[in-house]
Each structure stands twice: as structure tokens, then as C-alpha cells.
Amino acid sequence: MANIWVHAETSGGVVSTITLELLAKARDLGEVTAFHAGADAEQVAAELGAHGATRILTTGDLDNGLPGPALASAVAAKASEESPDAILFGTTYGGRDVAGRLSVKMDAPVITNIVDLLDTDGLTGVEPVFGGTTNVKTRFTGEMPGIFLVRPKSFNAEAAGGDAATVEIMAVPDLGATGLAKVTNRFVEESDGPKLDEAGIVVSGGRGLGEADNFQMIEDLAGKLGGAAGASRAIVDAGWVPYSYQVGQTGKVVKPDVYIAAGISGATQHMVGMKGSKTIIAINKDPEAPIFSIADLGIVGDVHKVLPALLEAIGD
Amino acid sequence: MKVAVCVKQIPDPADPGAMNPETKTLKRDVKLILDESDSYGVEMALQLVGEDGEVVLISMVPNNERNGLNNALAMGADSAILVSDDALAGSDALSTAKVLAAAIQRTEPDLVLAATESSDGYTGTVPEQVAELLGLPSVTFAKEVTIDSGNVAVKRQTEDGYDEVDCPLPALVSVTAGVVEPRYPSFKGIMAAKSKPVEELTLADLGIETSTVGWAGGRQEIVSIEPAPEREAGEIIEDEGDGHERIVAFLQEMKVI
Ligand SMILES: Cc1cc2nc3c(=O)[nH]c(=O)nc-3n(C[C@H](O)[C@@H](O)[C@@H](O)COP(=O)(O)OP(=O)(O)OC[C@H]3O[C@@H](n4cnc5c(N)ncnc54)[C@H](O)[C@@H]3O)c2cc1C
Ligand SMILES: Cc1cc2nc3c(=O)[nH]c(=O)nc-3n(C[C@H](O)[C@H](O)[C@H](O)COP(=O)(O)OP(=O)(O)OC[C@H]3O[C@@H](n4cnc5c(N)ncnc54)[C@H](O)[C@@H]3O)c2cc1C
């Protein structure tokens, strides 16, 4: 049976959704070990077990050090003893840091941005390119474990109902200078309503809104529908909304039941972040806008007319 | 204070070209430009070093291309190292990092800057790989960077906000797009760029075996390139004052309202 190792990202006893997504795939491929940095391994052991991990390898508390160097060193040492078949990471801030460092430690390349992993003649990653119009399948040819970075929302995070994972402490080798970066403060940007990448409904605005103040219509509509507000990069770069709103290749991947795009043209880099939505509604004044090619309902019209009318029609 | 900035030269993303079905890589026979993502690193470096510091650009290409480097030199960088070698074609992120790290080492910078991810390959792994190869601490996804007495302080983007991270120099920092406003090269800058030193190096100059980079070094193979299943377009209607009603009906059908 294949041995699959999964990067478990947790914060204060809460397991991130991407970790559960990776576990759901990993347990189909073989025996699953989670590896982890932080003080909360015991707290998450039951949940990781229920999602398919039999064991957690943890560095324990890192005293505010960034996880990349410590976790990569510890995992590299452990992997040279146990030779796992594949090591999976989510494409997250932390995941990329650990994967990059680990790849050097093990002198192994990384297959990145994959949305599926096929078990055919060696594990093969599926990576969409050109805004998701083309799929490239890649596999490793060397002897080393395959390191994969997986895009969020690629797999469904369902529990399988296993026992709590056992917790095993890994030794962290001396990190030298690489361990010197320390977190001195953490800031959480509070927002009402569901998180953008977890919301069942996402309402996004783009440059077609005309000016920053008009983004309030997007916030209002998202609020009324119990969803989250998102944005194209054009208006993030213009400073209308923070980066955390951005949907797309360099922003968040969303897969809500309904995605409403208002005044967004539908550039490939935007579409790659939302074309997995169950249904898509687009409002754009240009009938040729590419967004219409993937919309279930397209309204060729002016956002300054359609959005206010829609807000009024929905009421409170 | 010396800052080394990694700058990738890429095909214009507005015209991303196509995959070459034979070599299974991006066709790169077009003119390369400075990756916009790296213009933020160049601008940040120029702001951090001020009047007395030095900004060195580091770029790797298979084909001697300089167009993007010239642009960054015109913005105000002082010099550049260009690693160019036929054997580099097809290099994966790890091989690229090995080459960049070897080039950076020659300049002994206090700080190395890179973008969090490039616009063409966007593996987002090169900066951490470079840091590990150089034995440096690193802070990725920086949205604000300040330098103070041998330390770099960074506001680092996180999933739900940001962290403040402190790190002694030398260190590597990767910056997210949009964090500073990259300057446009002035006419004077463009003229001055022509006489700035660009050191051209081959793999042999860096002591790197050609078999460890490019196609040979990748140790991964592309099995297939296929069109992805397409999403069908639905109903497109012209708004004649009733557009919002259609949306309401759709949302009711989806049981959202
Ligand atoms: C569609 C596509 C998919 C790919 N998938 C993979 C994959 O799964 N695994 C893999 O290992 N490779 C992959 N590659 C190859 C990889 O992208 C290479 O081009 C590699 O040379 C650089 O990686 P990157 O651009 O992704 O780096 P990133 O890590 O995204 O780049 C981050 C930053 O590092 C610096 N940098 C990167 N390259 C250079 C350079 N040549 N010169 C100067 N600075 C640089 C820049 O500051 C850049 O912004 C892929 C390429 C393409 C086109
Ligand atoms: C490497 C790279 C990564 C990128 N990553 C991302 C990413 O993650 N996310 C992302 O979104 N983009 C990304 N982009 C940018 C992307 O290419 C587009 O530039 C961007 O998505 C365009 O945003 P937009 O649709 O808001 O603006 P535009 O393309 O300018 O479109 C505005 C639209 O509004 C319509 N409009 C104008 N007025 C009205 C009106 N009154 N009523 C109705 N419609 C109106 C217009 O017809 C037009 O279609 C990336 C680009 C690159 C090169």
C-alpha cells in the first residue's frame, strides 16, 4: 500500500479546510500520515483521524518561528528513513514555504498547482493551464517521493470516520540562520458573514462598477444573500478593496453554489478562480464579454441599473 | 546596503502563446518582457536602499534576452547578472533556484527580493528554494517591508489577515503584487541603462553541471496535454429593465431566496 504524507495546517486546534480536502484524496491512495508544526497536535488528532490520517508527525511548538524551515528539516529527516511515496501540500502561504524548503532538502522537484492526482502508473498530477482551458498531466521520473502542491477546492472534505490519529514528535534538526525569522504579532482582519472561499454564494465586482464607492452595492447584495463579496484583480490593484477579496489565479479559488460577476470581463486569470462554481450569473454591458461564455444566466446590461433594481427587489 | 532582486523575463502574459506539443513547454520564441510581478520587487529595492545603497538584478534565461533587464535597469537598478545558457531551456523551479542561488552568492547581498510567484509558471516555490540553498531565513508574501539596523520587519499576508515578522539580515523576502507603485523609467533612466554593467554568465562560470538543469534536471515528465472539459454557456438576455427579475427568478429556483 502506498504511503501518502499530508501537510496538516491548523491554528489553535482548528484544522484548515484544505487539509481535510487533501486527506480525503490521500486516503483513497494509501496509508495516510499527517505532518504538522504547532502546539495543537493532540487537539486535532481526533479530527485528522476521522478524515483518514492514522498518525501525526509533529514538530510541536515552534516558539513563533515560521514553520517552513523547521517543518521541512524535520520531515526531510523522517522521509529519508521511511521513504513515503508522495508528500502533499495545499497551495497556501504556509504550504508553499514548507514545500519549497523540503524540495531543496530532499533534492526533489515539486509538481505545483494541481487540481487532481491520478493513480496511474505512478502518481500523476493534473495541472490546468491557460485559465483552465488546457490540462497538463505530469509525473515524476526519479526515485524520490513526489512532492505535490494542490490548489484549494480540488477535493471534497468529507470525513471517513477513523480513530484518532496517534501523535509522534519529530526531532527538529539545528536550523542555523534559516530559523531566525520570528512572528512578533498576528492580526486577524474581521469580516461579517462567511469567508470568501467557504461561502455558498459569492458576489464579485470588477472595474465595470466605475468607482470604489459603487463596491458598496456588491457588499450589500452579498449581505442580503448571506454570501461573501469578492473582486477582480483590476479593482484590488486599484486599491478599491483589499487583496483578501481577490478571486482568481493569484487570489482565492471559490466554488459556491451561485457566483455573481458584476462588471467583470472574464479574463482567464479570473475565470480559473471561479469556473468551478455550480452556477454563474454575469452582468456586463458588453455582449462579447468572455464571462458570458461560462455563465448560466447572462444579463447584458448596466450594473448601475441592474444592481440597484436587484437590491430593491430582494428587499431585506 | 546591497539588495539583489530576482527578475524573471517572460513572454507577454496578455499574449500567453501556446504549449509546444513536441517539447511540452510554453513556446518562448517571442520577445520577453519584465514580469510585472517583479517590477514590485525592483521598486521596493530602490526605495529600501535610498541614495547610498546598491540594487543588483539577477535573471536567468536560456537565450541571452535582456529586454526585461533593461527595463529594470532603466527604473534605477545599478547592475545586473544575467545567467544565460542553452542548457537552461525547460528548467523546473528547483533547477532555476540552484542557478539563481549560485548567481546571488557572488554578489553577497544583505537582502534578496523576489516576487511571490511569476506570471507564467507561477509555481511560487523558487524564492523559498533559493533561501534554503543559500542557508538564509526568509519571509514570503510580504505586503510591507522596512529595514532597521540589520533587521528586516515584514507584514506578511496570511489566510485571514497578516503577521508581523522580524528577521535579521541577510535574508530573503518575497513581495506580493501591488504593494508599491512601480515607477515608469524616465528618458534619462532609459539612456543611463545602456551603460550599466550587465555581467553575463554561463552554467560553466557558475560551476553548475548542465545535466542537473533544463530537461535533464527536471526528473518529471509531462504525460499529456489535453483540452479541459468546457463549461457550456447558458441563457444570455438583453436587459430591458427586467434583468433583475430574471436574476431573482434564478435565485429562487436555486432556493437562495
Ligand atoms: C504552465 C507551466 C507550469 C509549470 N509547472 C511546473 C511545476 O509543476 N513544477 C516545476 O518545478 N516547474 C514548473 N514549471 C516550470 C517553472 O515555472 C519554470 O519556468 C521555472 O524556471 C521558474 O519557476 P516559476 O516561474 O514558476 O517561479 P516562481 O516560484 O513562481 O517565481 C517566483 C519568483 O522567483 C523569481 N524567479 C523565478 N524564475 C526566475 C528567473 N528565471 N530569473 C529570475 N528570477 C526568477 C522571480 O522573482 C519570480 O517572480 C511550469 C511552467 C509553466 C509555463
Ligand atoms: C499573472 C496574472 C495573474 C492575474 N491574476 C488575476 C486574478 O487572480 N484575479 C483576477 O480577477 N484577475 C487577475 N489578473 C488580471 C486579469 O488578467 C484581468 O486584468 C482582470 O481580471 C480584469 O478585471 P475586470 O474584469 O474587473 O476589468 P476589465 O477587464 O477592465 O473588465 C471590466 C468589464 O466591465 C464591463 N463594464 C464596464 N462598464 C460597465 C457597466 N456600467 N455595467 C456593466 N458592465 C460594465 C466591461 O464591459 C468589461 O467587460 C491576472 C493577470 C495576470 C497577468
- CB neighbours of B126 closer than 8 A, spacing ≥ 6? A100, B6, B93, B96, B97, B100, B114, B118
Give the helix/strand (H/E) hosting B250. Answer: helix B243-253
What structural domains does chain A harbor?
A: 3-179 (3.40.50.620), 201-314 (3.40.50.1220)
- For the domain that residue B34 is a member of, what is the CATH number? 3.40.50.620
Protein residue with its CA nearest to atom 4 in ligand 2: A269
> Closest-lying ligand to the alpha carbon of B97?
1
As for how many domains chain B has, the answer is: 1
What angle, rounded to 10 degrees, do the helices at A93-105 and B93-107 form? Answer: 80
Q: Is A228 in the pocket of ligand 2 (CB under 6 A)?
A: no
pLDDT value at B17 more than 70: no
Q: Which residues of A touch B148 (CB under 8 A)?
A: none
Q: Is A207 in the pocket of ligand 2 (CB under 6 A)?
A: yes
Give the CB-side neighbour count of residue A316, counting CA atoms within 13 A. 0
Nearest by CB to residue A103, choosing from B125, B236, B257, is: B125
Ligand 1: nearest atom to the Cα of B130: 34
Task: Name the burial class of residue A121, with classes exposed (0-12), middle (13-18) and buried (19+) by CB atoms within 10 angstroms of its CB.
Answer: exposed
3-state secondary structure of A6: strand
Residue A91 in grid coordinates:
497551495
Residue B237 inside a domain? The answer is no
Distance B220 CA to ligand 1 centre (A): 15
Share of chain A above pLDDT 90, in %: 83
Where b means 16+ CB within 10 Å and e means fewer, A170-189 reads bebeebebbbbbbbeeeeee
Provide the ipTM. Answer: 0.91
pLDDT value at B30 more than 80: no
Residue B226 inside a domain? The answer is no
Q: What pLDDT was estimated at residue A205? A: 98
Structural domain boundaries, residue B92: 2-218
Which pLDDT band, with edges at 50, 70 and 90, does B81 fall under?
very high
Those of residues 214-233 in A touching chain B at CB distance below 8 A are: 225
Residue B240 inside a domain? The answer is no
Question: How far apart, in whole angstroms, are the C-alpha atoms of residue A89 and residue A101?
Answer: 12
H helix and E strand count, chain A: 8, 18
What angle, rounded to 10 degrees, do the helices at B126-134 and A93-105 form? Answer: 50
Q: What's CA A126's distance to the chain center, in Å? A: 16
Q: What pLDDT was estimated at residue B29? A: 65
Contact criterion met (CB below 8 Å) for B99 and B206: yes
Q: What is the pLDDT of residues B105-141, one digit of tens each?
A: 999 999 999 999 998 889 999 999 999 999 999 999 9
Which pLDDT band, with edges at 50, 70 and 90, does B227 fall under?
confident
Closest CA of chain A from B89, distance in Å: 16
Average pLDDT, stretch B29-39?
Answer: 88
- CB neighbours of A253 closer than 8 A, spacing ≥ 6? A151, A152, A153, A197, A247, A272, A273, A274, A276
pLDDT value at B197 more than 70: yes
User: CB contacts < 8 Å between A and B, how many?
Assistant: 250
Which pLDDT band, with edges at 50, 70 and 90, does B221 fall under?
confident
- Picking from B102, B111, B22, B20, the residue whose alpha carbon sits closest to that of residue B60 is B102
Q: Is A214 in the pocket of ligand 2 (CB under 6 A)?
A: no
Average pLDDT, stretch B71-82?
Answer: 98
Distance A252 CA to ligand 1 centre (A): 20
Q: What is the pLDDT of residues A39-96, one digit of tens each?
A: 999 999 999 999 999 999 999 999 999 999 999 999 999 999 999 999 999 999 999 9
Question: How far apart, in whole angstroms, are the C-alpha atoms of residue B116 and residue B35?
Answer: 12
pLDDT value at B149 more than 70: yes
Give the CB-side neighbour count of residue A291, counting CA atoms within 13 A. 32
* Phi, psi for residue B204 in degrees, rounded to 5: -60, -40
Residue B241 inside a domain? The answer is no
Residue B45 inside a domain? The answer is yes
Q: What is the pLDDT of residues A208-252, one digit of tens each?
A: 999 999 999 999 999 999 999 999 999 998 989 988 899 998 889
3-state secondary structure of A215: helix
- Compare all CA atoms of chain A with the CA of B129 and give the residue at the minimum distance: A100
> Closest-lying ligand to the alpha carbon of A261?
2
Closest CA of chain A from B186, distance in Å: 23
Residue B235 inside a domain? The answer is no
Residue B43 inside a domain? The answer is yes
pLDDT value at A128 more than 90: no
3-state secondary structure of A252: strand
- Compare all CA atoms of chain A with the CA of B235 and give the residue at the minimum distance: A297
Residue B31 inside a domain? The answer is yes
